[in-house]
């Protein structure tokens, strides 16, 4: 009903506007003087200290959150992390044992593919942690431990605010394990905590400064038949999430690629006028990564692509080739995906709205897929 939407045109518009709160509510009560304390995991140190492998399983948007989390988890804990679609994991006879931690991610906590994979992992002797947005749902009940995301109820079928909350929860968990294993110093952890605490304000800035422009721009693009998304490192799963959201909401053919893969195939798709979103990593992080993405932009724009860059404020290297630049505030390299995804959510929603589609109830999709 209109009242439930709180004055917003759709649940999705409301939920995108709640992305800052989804992050801050997921952090709430879990940060203390630069340290991470997750009350739900108290007394469970043995579950996490000695794991030698992490496998993240999920479906849809939650799996992209897992892919972002892999970069941080591995870097901070030095434990190898794999990310797999739950339905693929379950049917390939994976190697599992008591030193394997299977982390499932699910907004609903009821996705059958993910639930079956969690049960399977437990039966095979692995430890299981659930990252879930729904208190008391089936997946957390079937797991050894749970870290809840506090995004609040998500009604629109396609996931938005839960995605940023899932990355936040994975980061908190990564810092928790890094402390247990001593793989990061307290000072390093405190630096990452500062970054996490700054995320909600930065997302709010994007919504305030860029949303009207992005919506206008999505309106102009309402007739587009195909959109590509390129990213590298943590920008790669964000590219795939941007593409997924556009397929789900606007029924447009969209694909996300790793920018480095361009020359191995996708560049053949580039022709005059092809819109390509490029997620540009900060030049202050890895200068090399930044240069490589800029050179990808040069390659596609030389072939006539219409480049829409998502780049940090002040990054002038994107200006010569990009047709549009959507700005995100400065953040540490691992924290950029929490910002870069926001313009993509706004864009997909804006384009679907411009086409007159129901952004809350896209055709053929269900909020929670409770069949395998
Ligand atoms: C459905 C929804 C997606 C969601 C996926 C996983 O396909 O349409 O938006 O990402 O399920 O859902 P979960 O509840 O497990 O996160």
pLDDT tens across 335-349, in order?
999 999 999 999 999
What local confidence, expressed as pLDDT, does residue 64 receive?
98
What are the distances in angstroms from CA 318 to CA 46, 261, 326?
47, 20, 10
Choice from 64, 105, 108 to test ligand 1 binding pocket (greatest atom count within 8 A of CB): 108
- Residues identified as active-site: 367
Q: Whose CA is nearest to atom 2 of ligand 1?
A: 367
8 A C-beta contact, residue 248 and residue 348: yes
Q: From ligand 1's centre to the CA of 367, what distance in Å?
A: 6
Q: Is the dihedral of CA 326, 332, 334, 339 positive or negative?
A: negative
- CA–CA–CA angle 166, 168, 173 (5° rounding): 95
| Ligand 1 atom, smallest distance to 111 CA | 15
**Total count of residues recorded for the chain:** 372
Please give the DSSP secondary-structure letter assigned to residue 358: -
Q: Can you give the pLDDT at residue 3?
A: 76
Q: 296 in ligand 1 pocket by Cβ < 6 Å?
A: no
- Per DSSP, the residues of 48-98 read HHT--EEEEEE-THHHHHHHHHHHHHHHHH---EEEEEHHHHTTS-----T
**CB of residue 160 inside a 6 A radius of ligand 1:** no
What's the pLDDT score for residue 121? 97
250 lines ligand 1 (CB under 6 A): no
pTM of this prediction? Answer: 0.97
Q: Give the pLDDT of residue 46.
A: 84
ipTM for the assembly? 0.94
Gap between the Cα atoms of 288 and 9, Å rounded: 42
Per DSSP, the residues of 161-192 read: HHHHHHHHHHHHHHHHHHHHHT-S-HHHHHHH
Q: What is the pLDDT of residue 159?
A: 95
35: which 2 tokens?
Answer: 């340290």
Which DSSP category does 280 fall into? P
Q: Which of 220, 239, 249 is nearest to 280 (CA)?
A: 239
- The number of beta carbons lying within 10 Å of the beta carbon of residue 241 is 29
Cβ–ligand 1 distance for 114 under 6 Å, the answer yes
For residue 87, the CA-to-ligand 1 centroid distance in Å is 13
User: Which pLDDT value is given to residue 41?
Assistant: 95
Q: What's the gap in Å between 20 CA and the centre of ligand 1?
A: 20
pLDDT at 371: 84
Is the CB–ligand 1 distance for residue 244 below 6 Å? no
- Confidence at residue 286, expressed as pLDDT on a 0 to 100 scale: 83
Residue 15: per-residue pLDDT: 96
Q: Are 281 and 248 in contact (CB under 8 A)?
A: no
Which regions in the chain score pLDDT beneath 50?
Answer: none
Ligand 1 atom nearest to 158, measured from its CA? 9
Ligand 1 within 6 A of CB of 369? yes
Of ligand 1's atoms, which has the minimum distance to the CA of residue 60? Answer: 10
- How many whole angstroms separate alpha carbon 22 and alpha carbon 294? 32
For the Cβ of 107 lying below 6 angstroms from any atom of ligand 1, the answer is yes
How high is the pLDDT of residue 6?
83
Beta bridge partners of 129: 103, 145
Question: Cα–Cα distance between 245 and 340 in angstroms, integer?
Answer: 14
Ligand 1 centre to CA of 109 (Å) is 9
pLDDT digits (tens, 9 = 90+) for 219-239: 999 999 999 999 999 999 999
């Amino acid at each position: 009903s209109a009242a439930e939407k709180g004055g917003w045109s759709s649940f999705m518009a409301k939920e995108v506007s709640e992305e800052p709160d989804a992050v801050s509510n997921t952090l709430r009560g879990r940060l203390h003087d630069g340290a991470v304390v997750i009350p739900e995991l108290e007394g469970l140190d043995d579950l996490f200290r000695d794991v030698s492998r992490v496998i993240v399983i999920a479906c849809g948007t939650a799996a992209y959150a897992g892919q972002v989390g892999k970069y941080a988890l591995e870097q901070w804990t030095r434990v190898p992390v794999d990310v797999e679609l739950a339905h693929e994991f379950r049917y390939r006879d994976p190697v599992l044992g008591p030193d394997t931690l299977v982390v499932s991610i699910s907004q609903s906590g009821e996705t059958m593919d993910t639930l079956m994979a969690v049960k399977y992992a437990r039966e095979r002797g692995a430890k299981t942690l659930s990252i879930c947005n729904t208190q008391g749902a089936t997946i957390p009940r079937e797991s050894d431990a749970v870290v809840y995301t506090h995004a609040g109820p998500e009604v629109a079928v396609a996931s938005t605010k839960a995605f940023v909350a899932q990355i936040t929860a994975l980061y908190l968990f990564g810092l928790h394990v890094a402390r247990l294993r001593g793989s990061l110093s307290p000072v390093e952890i405190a630096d990452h905590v500062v970054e996490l605490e700054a995320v909600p304000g930065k997302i709010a800035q994007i919504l305030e400064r860029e949303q009207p422009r992005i919506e206008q721009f999505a309106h102009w693009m309402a007739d587009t038949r195909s959109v590509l998304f390129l990213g590298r490192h943590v920008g790669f799963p964000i590219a795939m999430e941007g593409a997924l959201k556009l397929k789900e909401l606007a029924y447009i053919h969209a694909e996300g690629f790793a920018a480095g893969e361009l020359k191995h195939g996708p560049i053949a798709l580039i022709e005059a006028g092809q819109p390509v979103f490029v997620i540009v990593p900060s030049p202050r992080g890895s200068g090399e990564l930044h240069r490589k993405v800029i050179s990808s932009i040069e390659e596609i724009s030389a072939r006539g692509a219409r480049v829409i860059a998502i780049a940090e404020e002040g990054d002038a290297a994107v200006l010569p080739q990009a047709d549009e630049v959507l700005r995100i505030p400065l953040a540490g390299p691992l924290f950029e995906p929490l910002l870069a995804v926001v313009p993509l959510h706004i864009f997909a929603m804006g384009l679907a709205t411009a086409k007159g589609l129901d952004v809350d109830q896209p055709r053929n999709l269900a909020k929670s897929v409770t069949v395998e």
